[in-house]
Amino acid sequence: MRRKLVIVVVAVLILTAAAAYYALVPGRAPAGQPPLSELDTLSFDQQFKAASASTRVLVMLSPT
């Protein structure tokens, strides 16, 4: 019984550490790919208008 408890506690600690690492350590973009950035309304509007000579595609995705 005690061995099971130790295994469960160790598993919970490992999962907690992995979740904390995933949440707190910033990710990096692969080589040759620009990093993601925050998209504010003004920046988007400027970039959208600047590309008026080419085809523009606006895709809105919903997580539901």
Q: What is the per-residue DSSP string for 1-64?
A: -HHHHHHHHHHHHHHHHHHHHHHHSPP-PPTTSPPP----HHHHHHHHHHTTTS----------
Q: Which residues contact 35 (CB under 8 A, 6 or more apart)?
A: 28, 29
- At 20-63, the pLDDT tens digits run 999 998 888 889 888 877 778 888 888 888 888 989 888 888 88
pLDDT recorded at residue 19:
95
pTM above 0.75, yes or no: no
Residue 64 has pLDDT above 80, yes or no: no
